Amino acid sequence: MKNIFVFILFFSFTMMCSDAYAHPPSDIKIEHSSASRMLTAIVTHSVSDPVKHFISKIDIWLNGKEVISHEISRQDNEKYQFAGYLIPDAKPGDTISVEAYCSISGKLRKDIKVK
């Protein structure tokens, strides 16, 4: 019985500690070029090990419709994830949304209007 209690206590502590280090992306800088029709996104997500804790997915939405879902296996570096996409159907006045997901916990979404 004592071993079960110690195991449960250790397991609970481990789970709480892992969540303390998990965090969603802190910012997304988005730029869209109407001339090239390219969207660039820099997702700020500071981590100590970009292989174990990273931006795992980026979704792109055009006027509320998902147009790209990009699965990522590791983050570019300890500070951010860079991504570039061709968005041929974006027109002036359209809304482009970028949603980035942390591999452990959380997500962040930002929007821009096409100029």
Q: Catalogue the E-assigned strands of the chain.
A: 27-33, 38-44, 55-62, 65-71, 80-86, 95-102, 107-113
pLDDT given at position 49: 96
3 assigned to some structural domain: no
12 assigned to some structural domain: no
Find the domain containing 67 and state its range.
Answer: 23-113
54 assigned to some structural domain: yes
For residue 65, give every residue at least 6 positions away whose Cβ sits within 8 Å of its Cβ, in sequence order, or none. Answer: none
**CATH number of 96's domain:** 2.60.40.730
Q: Which residue in this structure is represented by tokens 């997702």?
A: 43
74 assigned to some structural domain: yes
Number of domains in the chain: 1
18 assigned to some structural domain: no
Residue 14, both tokens: 């481990």
pTM: 0.82
67 assigned to some structural domain: yes
- The string of DSSP letters for 11-36 reads HHHHHHHHHHH----SEEEEEEETTT
Q: Average pLDDT in the 83-104 region?
A: 98
Q: Residue 2: pLDDT above 80?
A: no
Q: What is the mean pLDDT of the chain?
A: 89
